[in-house]
Structure 1
């Protein structure tokens, strides 16, 4: 298959002259080489452009790419498949209409599926591979708003019941269907969430890439898996949607096929009313190295193009902007005839066509012609490059004039009487006018020949699609030996950060015999910042072509080593791309039956704040893996300033129901959390993710105390108490590196006769989650003994004032306030970050040892356990001023 040129459509007025030019170029290439021929062509193009002749080097004419003579024979029964298409479309319309008649405002979308319907029906009958053939089948990302059509087909296949269909968007009671593709809600049906819009394109490409990673490293045979992604043309405006096109080209991902559903409409109106979205998309994909196949016109147009000897029709279609095209192609026959065929020559081309013929021609677009679609799919499968199929469709196709191509069609939730009659007649369905008032379904039992056909086709293709499977994990969690060294603490004067401790633990895991080859380190171009560069030479950086150059540091032990079997995924400066890789790895247990353990380590400020939508999508897809927020802390990352200093990712992480968020202070805490996470996700096979904040401040690591594992995992434990002396007592809770400030405050407090209990809070989020679960249990069982939250068991007695401090916003520790007994004071880093030294920043944000001391003394004054004079003396001794700039003020 070749790109279609004008000569394929229009007879050449002077073929001898054209042949002379072609033979001249061939002669130059043969005699002087292709480089010289290339230079001559460039110079010729330049000369033409200087004369005002427009030459588009990335766009082809506004015509089909594949010539009719190159189209393969259709592999199925077109008559039966059109009937199947009609039944599926009708039932999808009835499902959404009935849902909104029963519950006005429940929502749902009809027109999006109608524009995709033929594209997907050809795929379902002939291309989308199921999981019962060799390998794990194709990965199909559906355009999310079109879910009713997928449900309608699944009912025809016998996979859903009438009860399911009647409960579209009614999920709370069970047996309902989710609004969009949501694996979290329908874990045996949907595989890939594709709403919110824009995320699917990049995750699909990274899934295709990760399949190659699995194959190259010998972890899974993914050779029979292709990735199909359908995107609406309006969705392409989302910055993420097309951001990874060059990655697919660089890594030769011919296992990914994108289908652009170009109905020319977004939610409110035209995508490009004043230009042409098809041509724009072609330029973007072709410029990124993709194979581009356009299917714009159906079979009925072939005869007109064959007779377009002077190119008038091709030129007219090329000059028509999308706003006019949308209007003209959905107007009546007279408007279509007069405005599209607007010259005597063009009118003559269609003079033999009746108004009925012209109406059929207007709706016979490439994306609704199964023969054209099949030709495109077959060519895409044979391509050695990533391929995009740009299909011209009609939003609301086949739903009647009130839906087709209307700007308001996206929001239409109910079919009116006229539309029902139009559809019934168009599809030749046996419903009488009075029956239409009940919005009748075509029950699958009444069309057994269609049911038999779809089941036979899916059987030959390896099973139904979509279908999600989750086989038992074959990963054996590593034993204690890989973690034991972190329980011992550092020796002598050695100091390490929790980031350094993590990298050492990661290396241990990668060398572990039971799980090592399944560990997938993912980093967005900050590996050296995090001290991960020793992993480059030892385990290699993945690149499908290996290393075609000699790196500048090739003589060094820790050289930059790329390999087609490399284990480290160095993603470049692309947090969203890296997280898309994380999703591919974190879901490989279900997409390829090959569980892997991703460790995505990143600049914490550019985690949840930047790509929280992708993390939400990962949770929907039931991802399992670790997200490591490095260089955390608003004061610990001291020199980087406002845009980099993170004090709220832990708070944001807690908003995701599938994320367990931790803030360890010590290496043994970190090791315990990761050990627990691997066991929970890959031993117990729970669909959760772990977010762990790690920091870049070096300090001594103490040995692990006895019997603290439960508290570390649940979120808090008592580290120790200061030596027992007479005097008041305060409880001090620390997290992350601010634990060092807390320990320093303990010594200062002793000078003022105050004793301390020292607690380490590893996860306020987990403590809150447990607290809320207990509250619900108690609320619903008032006659039973009260269930006491873990944090209340630890801190609820109110025996002493409690001070909590961290390098995060006050709202993080404040999540557990209602379960902490007595006076509870929280110190944190609210406000914007700024550049300075750590001591200065901690004084500025009032979380240093001196402010912790003062907060403890203040609480003791209020509880009347010490005299206010002690506080005033400390205020003077510690050099703290009461009046200062409010860092939280706007």
Structure 2
């Protein structure tokens, strides 16, 4: 600013006495500091004291501390589902009900649904928890004759926002920051079509992280092949990629009921336990029914699940060895391929459940950074490197199958030296069809997993290429078919 402009500013602010003309004649503009006994100085100091001091610091005091739910809310899922086929969406709904019934914790649960509660199997909660309405239910719903009919109440617990993901995210952020704004920690569980979550309201999810929101985002009807007949509008193959862009988002893709329970339990402890962290969770849920296995008996299984990768089943026999990683609904193709490879091709398969590639990648990046900044120290190894190097044949191939894009498992590929790593995923736009047809189209079904493993074994010189060709013929795979990426 010129001297004349500075003089005009001084006159406008009525600082003529404090800044005389002589102070404006130098090369540098004057620095004005109010006297300590002035009203201005006293006001600024009072406001600084009210804000907690000169250095900004976020402090929270829980006026109503949160008591975490009892272990019984989670242990129900340890034994699996027996002969009953259930989906992870159904599992979560039952877990949500268990938590809402907990006498100490239940009132802090905030279920949020933008729409389609029945699609997620959450209509069973209507009568028990009721949907919040400021004036109560003022009409008779069309489903009033049903046992699980729509029920509103002024004391309702469920926030059903209508078809508005943005409005639901606003509720999620409000509930998820209540520990700071109100001193009353609440636990939001926002369940939505996974395709419409990160894709539609990515900015608001980033805002949630910036505001240090705590809670759970549940991407229901996840995956690009599990939601039959809905077409590409609802087929999500990339929300886990979008989640990977948010540093404080803990993204998980569980396959089994006990994994869902362990991840939610871990999230509650990390966000609301003795040393709470300002993070939130994104968990994919699928609507495909299958029998849920019992939780492995390892005493460290819960830690193994949340670390992102654990060996689910070790190979039993087989002349050759390979490894298959699976996550989410891809568990079916992986398990079927393992059985097929052993029976028909004498290949023993180690099956690993990859619950979170994002967690594995971020841990590996931290190790990589430590090694770079400590060149004289003994180099550390990323967890994923250590886990997948612990095999009788350290050069056997790894195939990772997912219901999401290949880029999801590829997040860890460069941290697995010495072993070939081939991802199978659902790259492409998708189409409206059955699960079986979609998995054949995207080349993530059992035959394609088998052929991929055999091909990698052939490249390593373990088997002959004739075996791969025979498998392609036996499974009636069209080698000249159009890639799903472009069809």
Scaled to the shorter chain, the TM-score interval is over 0.9
Q: Judge conservation of contact 1:638–1:645 (CA < 8 Å) in 2.
A: no
Cα offset, 1:468, TM superposition: 5.3
CA contact (8 A) 1:489 1:702 kept: yes
- Work out whether 1:759 is the aligned partner of 2:358: no
The residue number in structure 1 matching 2:321 is 729
Distance in 1, matches of 2:479 and 2:213, equals 48
CA distance, structure 1, for counterparts of residue 233 and residue 146 of structure 2: 34
3-state DSSP of counterpart to 1:724: coil
Alignment partner, residue 104 of structure 1: none
| Residue number among 795, 800, 805 corresponding to 2:401 in the alignment | 805
Please name the residue that 1:850 is paired with. 447
User: Which has the higher mean CA deviation after the structures are superposed, 622-631 or 544-553?
Assistant: 544-553
Give the match for residue 631 of structure 1.
221
Residue 261 of structure 2 is aligned to residue 675 of structure 1 = no
* Alpha-carbon distance change, 639 to 587 in structure 1, aligned in 2, over 3 angstroms: same
Cα distance change, pair 543–752 in 1 and its aligned pair in 2 (3 A)? same
Distance 2:338 2:31 in 1: 73
1:467 Cα deviation from its structure 2 partner: 8.7
TM-score, normalising length from structure 2?
A: 0.92
Q: Distance in 2 between matches of 1:869 and 1:839?
A: 27
1:638 to partner: Cα distance: 2.8
Q: Distance in 1 between matches of 2:286 and 2:369?
A: 35
Name the SS for the 2:304 alignment partner. helix
What is the aligned partner in structure 2 of residue 562 from structure 1? 152
Question: Alpha-carbon deviations, 1:210-249, whole Å to 9, x = none?
Answer: xxxxxxxxxxxxxxxxxxxxxxxxxxxxxxxxxxxxxxxx
CA distance in 2, matches of 1:484, 1:572: 33
- How far apart, in 2, do the equivalents of 1:744 and 1:648 lie? 25
3-state DSSP of counterpart to 1:486: coil
Which of these residues, 474, 484, 487, is aligned with residue 75 of structure 2? 484
Change (3 A) 1:888 1:435: farther
Please, what is the CA RMSD of the aligned residues? 2.0
Residue aligning to 1:702: 293
Q: Distance in 2 between matches of 1:605 and 1:416?
A: 56
Shift of 1:453: 4.8
Q: Write the distance in 1 (CA, Å) between the matches of 2:3 and 2:427.
A: 58
How far residue 634 of structure 1 moved from its aligned partner, in angstroms, is 0.7
Residues 330-729 of structure 1 correspond to what in structure 2 (within 5 A)? Answer: 415-429=1-15, 430-431=18-19, 432=21, 434=24, 437-445=27-35, 448-453=38-43, 463=50, 469-472=59-62, 474-492=65-83, 494-683=84-273, 684-707=275-298, 708-725=301-318, 727-729=319-321
The alignment partner of 2:173 has SS state of: helix
Post-superposition Cα deviations, 1:56-108, rounded to whole Å, max 9, x if no partner, equal xxxxxxxxxxxxxxxxxxxxxxxxxxxxxxxxxxxxxxxxxxxxxxxxxxxxx
Give structure 1 stretches of 5+ with no counterpart: 1-414
Secondary structure, counterpart of 2:125 in structure 1: helix
In structure 2, stretches of 5+ residues that fail to align are: none
Q: Give yes or no for contact 2:24–2:30 (8 Å, CA) kept in 1.
A: no
CA distance in 1, matches of 2:131, 2:224: 31
The equivalent residue for 1:865 is: 462
CA shift at 1:799, angstroms? 3.4
Aligned residues of 1:420 and 1:436 also touching (Cα < 8 A): no
Per-residue deviation, 1:416: 4.8
Of 372, 380, 385, the residue aligned with 1:787 is 380
In 1, the alpha carbon distance for the partners of 2:57 and 2:388 equals: 47
User: SS at 2:458's partner residue?
Assistant: helix
- The CA distance in 1 between the partners of 2:157 and 2:480, in whole Å, is 54
Equivalent-residue separation in structure 2 for 1:771 and 1:416 (angstroms): 54
Indicate if the aligned counterparts of 2:7 and 2:24 stay in contact, CA closer than 8 A: no
1:839 and 2:429 equivalent? no
The 3-state SS of whatever aligns with 2:387 is helix
> Deviation of residue 820 (structure 1)?
1.6
Equivalence map 1:275-286=2 (5 Å): none
* CA shift digits 1:355-400 (9 cap, x unpaired): xxxxxxxxxxxxxxxxxxxxxxxxxxxxxxxxxxxxxxxxxxxxxx
* Aligned-partner Cα distance in 2 for 1:447–1:808: 65
The equivalences for 1:107-146 within 5 A come to none
Q: Distance in 2 between matches of 1:820 and 1:480?
A: 36
Q: Is the contact between residue 469 and residue 591 of structure 1 (CA under 8 Å) also seen in structure 2?
A: no
**Shift of the alpha carbon at 1:447?**
6.2
Question: Residues 547 and 421 (structure 1 numbering): CA distance in 2 closer, same or farther, change over 3 Å?
Answer: same
In 2, Cα distance between equivalents of 1:537 and 1:480: 25
SS of the residue aligned with 2:254? coil
Q: CA deviation at 1:417?
A: 4.3
Q: Any conservation in 2 of the 1:732–1:742 contact (CA below 8 Å)?
A: yes
Query: Hey, what does 1:814 align to over in structure 2?
Result: 410
Write the mapping of 1:67-146 to structure 2, written as runs, cut at 5 A. Answer: none
- SS state at 2:404 partner: coil
Q: Normalised by the size of structure 1, how large is the TM-score?
A: 0.51
CA offset digits 1:714-756 (Å, max 9, x no partner): 100000123223x111100001011101111112112111110
Mapped to 2, the partners of 1:746 and 1:837 lie a distance apart of 23
Once residues 563 and 808 of structure 1 are traced to their aligned partners in structure 2, the CA distance between those partners, rounded to angstroms, is 39
C-alpha distance in structure 2 between counterparts of 1:427 and 1:579, whole Å: 43
CA positional deviation for 1:550: 3.1
Q: Which moved more, 1:876-885 or 1:730-739?
A: 876-885
The 1:436–1:560 alpha-carbon spacing in structure 2 relative to 1, beyond 3 Å, is farther
Which structure has greater helix proportion? 1
- The answer (yes or no) to whether the contact 2:36–2:42 under 8 Å persists in 1 is no
Q: Please give the per-residue CA displacement for 1:818-869, whole angstroms capped at 9, x wherever unaligned.
A: 1123111111111112111111111111100000000000000011111111
Distance in 2, Cα, partners of 1:449 & 1:795: 67
Q: Which residue of 1 aligns with 2:330?
A: 738
Secondary structure (helix, strand or coil) at the match of 1:637 reads coil
Cα distance in 1 for partners of 2:369, 2:26 equals 47
Aligned equivalents of 1:756, 1:440: Cα separation in 2: 76
Q: Distance in 1 between matches of 2:37 and 2:108?
A: 48
